[in-house]
Structure 1
Amino acid sequence: MNAECLSLQTPVDSTITLRRDKRLVAQQFSRAAHSYDQAAGIQLQVRNQLLSRLQRVNGPLFGHWLDIGCGTGQTLPRLHQLGAQQVYGLDLASGMIRSARRFASPAIALLQADADQIPLADASCDGLFSSLMLQWSEQPHSTLREWARVLKPGGTLALATLLPGTQQELLQAWRSIDDKPHVNNFISAADLQQALLQAGLRSVSRQQSLLQEHYDSLTSLLRNLKAIGATNVNPGRKSGLGGGRALQQLDNAYPRERNGLLPLSYQVQWLLLRKE
């Protein structure tokens, strides 16, 4: 495959009922492509830790690697530098793929496609890399089976995802105002482990940590979430944020630390897995 960007229209299984519209998720990340790299502090930290763990546990890479949810493409040259001869970057958001084109080369190809319907042959990848994408899947069991399909037996999956407790401060504040969904649901560690085992993926290394960002105002916190594309697209949500009164209520309800800063938590799990 050459390094041109492939925009693929894949059929959607009509038997699957999703709670979020994937088109809206893709649109929000497309809009955020220009601001993502500057705003994604936690995301960059998580990705770099995953790369470090992959290098330490797996050693030099080889063969074909796929970055699922590649975003602006920052990881693609890193995977190539670590030894992968061919790297594919896959993302559903057209804006992210356009941004990632700066890294395209004979060794780096881009795929605009759904992570639940990867346009690659069975057992075609020696390794998969995915940092903070799986939590956007409505059906992680099905998603992980698809990822395992394209992975060769004995191949490696380097995975970082979010667990319950992520954005708990924002969830707590909104619950004092209304019962609408404002924060995504996150798969539990136990359910994630079950999904991985059912997909034939065995854990080699696992670690979980709480990471936090701190903001001096609610406005800056919400602006940062918008800049990385992590806005609310849950069904049943209110249009917009509810106006000035709701924002003031949210500001009043948001937990603060003694220094007055607003924390935002991320429960992160890093995993290195092998396909049995």
Structure 2
Amino acid sequence: MTQPAAPLVDCRQVRRTFARAAAGYDAAAFIAQEVGGRMAERLDYVRLEPQKILDLGCATGASLAGLQARYPDALVLGADAVPAMLAEARRRHPASGPVISRLPTWLGGGARGPGLLAADALALPLAAGSLSLLWSNLMLHWVNDPEPVLKEFHRSLEVGGLLMFSTFGPDTLKELRSAFGDGYAHTQRFIDMHDWGDLLVHCGFADPVMDMEVLTLTYPDFDALAAELKAAGDTCAMTARRPGLMTPRQWRRAAEAFGRQAKDGRTAVTVEVVYGHAWKTAPKKIADGRSIVRFDRPKPGHS
């Protein structure tokens, strides 16, 4: 029997890190907020009238109000795997609550605000084909294997539904990795934009559109970068990370190497942001591989 591959990402560490960061997340996660805003601008070019929207990996819910304002008739849900983040989201959105209280008025509801639920990206607690729009901002680089996650996204979307996401590309934090150079992982594994496009097609999505932009941030020193990453929960959770705490000497060597990359007293740090969207279309094959052939009925009066 083939043994399952050892995990690359320590998912428990991901949850622990974000749980610790939850209380101060809004003040620290300016990159996530900026990228979420840029994702929202991309919706201007998409023709969509969604009935049910899920923001997966919603954290404290920064994107929820914007999605609800853009699509006022839609049921908007936020999901996250970290209870502490959902607690902060409830404080951010006082009218939010369990999904059952978010039913639209025509279904006997009436409470305003997004519905919030705890959810694992590998097993969403939603019926197949129940979502019109699945939105995910900077979440996918935290999963162990993106393929089953994308397949779960595909299962959850209705035919004609849209997946829109952002993640980080391979050049992200390359200056940090260079400062260590010790063979251990010090950032998450970031997947190339073109590989995301191939994965989307492999998982059943159609017409994937990928694009990328590079943001450059500058820091006065290594400690400032490390503190910012920790406050936002963006520390490494790879299983190949260094076990245990770094010694003061190891930390000092990394800080010195980081400082040698500085110009005019500040070190530039690269953030490569990858954006993607793709559609769920009607299947062309059934489970056993046979093709589906569709015939249009002739209009009355035509032979």
- Equivalent residue number for residue 23 of structure 1: 12
Out of 212, 216, 219, which is 2:216 matched to?
212
Shift of 1:220: 1.1
- Contact 2:129/2:158, CA 8 A, preserved across alignment: yes
> What are the within-5 Å matches in structure 2 for residues 1-276 of structure 1?
17-54=6-43, 56-59=44-47, 61-83=49-71, 85-102=74-91, 103=93, 104=96, 106=102, 107-175=113-181, 178-203=182-207, 205-254=209-258, 255-276=260-281
Q: Which runs of 4+ in 1 moved over 4 A?
A: 14-17
Counterpart-to-counterpart distance in 1, 2:50 and 2:155: 19
Higher RCO structure (Cα 8 Å, ≥6 apart): 1
CA contact (8 A) 1:217 1:261 kept: yes
Cα deviation, 1:43-89, whole Å, max 9, x if unaligned, reads 211110001111x1125643100001001111112111111521111
- Higher-Rg structure is 2
1:3 corresponding residue in structure 2: none
3-state SS, counterpart of residue 153 of structure 1 = strand
- Given that 2:56 and 2:121 are in contact with CA atoms closer than 8 Å, whether structure 1 keeps it comes out as yes
1: distance between equivalents of 2:208 and 2:191? 20
Query: Which amino acid in the other structure matches residue 161 of structure 2?
Result: G
- CA deviation profile, 1:5-30 (whole Å, cap 9, x unmatched): xxxxxxxxx95742222121111111
Secondary structure in structure 2 of the residue aligned to 1:89: strand
Gaps in structure 2 of 5+ consecutive residues = 103-112, 282-303
Return the offset for 1:240.
Answer: 4.9
CA displacement at 1:36 relative to structure 2:
1.5
Percentage identity across aligned positions?
32
| TM-score, normalised with respect to structure 2 | 0.81
Q: Where do 5+ consecutive residues of structure 1 fail to align?
A: 1-13
Task: Specify which structure has the higher proportion of strand.
Answer: 1
SS for the counterpart of 1:34 is helix
TM-score by length of 1: 0.88
| 1:60–1:82 contact (8 Å) kept in structure 2 | no
Tell me the alpha carbon deviations over residues 161-213 of structure 1, each in whole angstroms, 9 at most, x when there is no partner: 111111100111111xx212212211222221111001222246432111122
RMSD of aligned residue pairs (Cα, Å) = 1.8
CA contact (8 A) 2:201 2:208 kept: no
Note if contact 1:47-1:131 (Cα within 8 Å) is conserved in structure 2: yes
CA deviations on 1:95-126 (whole Å, 9 max, x unpaired) are: 11111113215351111111111110000001
